[in-house]
Amino acid sequence: MMKKTLIASAIAAATFSGAVMAQGTMSAAEMAAKMESMPTVYGNIQYAFAHDNFDGGPSTVEHFDNGSTLGVKHDHEIAPGITGFFKLELEGLNADDKNGDDNGINDGDFAGLTELDEAYIGVKGDSFGQVWVGSDDSTYERAVTEIAEYFEVATINQGVDYSTGEGDLVQYMSPSFSGLSVWAAVQVNGDADSRTGGTKSYPYQLAAVYEMDGLELAAAVDSNDNGDGNGENTYGLRASYNINDLRVTGEYHTRKDASDTFGVIGYYTIGANQFALSYEMTQYDDQAAEFAGLDSSTITLQALHNLSDNMYVYFEGYLGGGDEVWEYEDSQGNTAVTDERTIASVGAVYYF
């Protein structure tokens, strides 16, 4: 492996040197400009170890890759005040086990970067905002789903019921007008798209976000026009406040004949350490759903320590409660439920 790395490095160096020589001798300023114009490569390795226990049911221990990624991004000036940009991020590395499951790709020899996380291109400017096309976190997610997206392992955090995905998106963010910005997205599902079964649909999301001093207020809607059997919109609200080293956020999401979810989270930062505590609850309204009329809740505690600018470690504890909503498979292979599930996890992340 080391020989391959050294050879690859030598080839890269020779290629770059050849390009420089072909253009003649470069000054230090020209060399710096050349390096500045190159794309940025970034990535991370994420490991986690978790103990998962169902009250009255099984208890398991697992060490796993918690979402390692590798990406590249770049931007450049198209015209004065207008910037073009792109981003490509891959995941599915399975960094905990090189012979692990990779869905049949590479015959199990190495999982590799087999899954697309983000890929988009766009333009932005101070006068008109930002527009981009491709796969990215959706407008609804970025505006109002802070709690579920924050934690590292997040196995039993409460999910929000909205159906517009993160692919085939055209998104827009306006400039800030005295703290207020408007966001929008539309997902383009054509009749030649196998993912939608050949049915055209154009689900959309809208959001308004207001920021002033330490206060943040956001409201969003997802049209859910994806043919999932419930055409009702999802509405979400978020309020956050920052004061010194403390941040507090509250959320509420609702979809008629489906579910209502609310939660609150607090973060406190002291030096290289951060502590977070959250409570989330979902009430299921859908009478056709498995858990109709039942409640599900999650309490999550995190303690995180930054070892350096590129590495941190953490502990997370999850307590899932509510009604009989936590499913597991018993020793006979039958599906069973319990009203309590707990997870204790530790992890480490190195990023660059």
Measured over the CA atoms of residue 317, residue 323, residue 327 and residue 331, the dihedral's sign is: positive
Over the stretch 161-212, which tens digit does the pLDDT of each residue have? 999 989 999 999 999 999 999 999 999 988 877 666 667 889 999 999 999 9
Asked whether residue 22 is domain-assigned, the answer is: no
Phi, psi for residue 159 in degrees, rounded to 5: -85, 150
* CATH number reported for the structural domain that contains residue 127 in this entry: 2.40.160.10
The tokens describing 87, both together, are 């981003």
Over the stretch 296-319, which tens digit does the pLDDT of each residue have? 999 999 999 999 999 999 999 999
Identify the burial level of 212 via C-beta atoms within 10 angstroms of its C-beta, where 0-12 means exposed, 13-18 middle and 19 or more buried.
exposed
Asked whether residue 39 is domain-assigned, the answer is: no
Over the stretch 105-148, which tens digit does the pLDDT of each residue have? 344 444 567 789 999 999 999 999 999 999 999 999 999 999 98
Asked whether residue 125 is domain-assigned, the answer is: yes
The parent domain of residue 163 ranges over 45-351
- Number of domains composing the chain: 1
Asked whether residue 35 is domain-assigned, the answer is: no
The tokens describing 292, both together, are 């109709």
Instruction: Please say if the pLDDT value at position 339 is more than 60.
Output: yes
Average model confidence (pLDDT) for the chain?
Answer: 88
Asked whether residue 15 is domain-assigned, the answer is: no
Over the stretch 17-59, which tens digit does the pLDDT of each residue have? 444 444 557 787 777 767 777 899 999 999 999 999 999 999 9
Q: What is the mean pLDDT of residues 263-287?
A: 95
Instruction: Provide DSSP, 128-173.
Output: TEEEEEEE---HHHHHH-HHHHH-SS-SSSPPP-----SSSEEEEE
Asked whether residue 71 is domain-assigned, the answer is: yes
**Separation between Cα atoms, residue 235 and residue 162, nearest integer Å:** 9
Asked whether residue 126 is domain-assigned, the answer is: yes
Taking phi over 0 as left and psi of -120 to 50 as alpha, with beta for the rest, 344 belongs to: beta
Residue with tokens 């419930």: 230
Which has the closest alpha carbon to 119: 141, 132, 134?
Answer: 134
Asked whether residue 12 is domain-assigned, the answer is: no
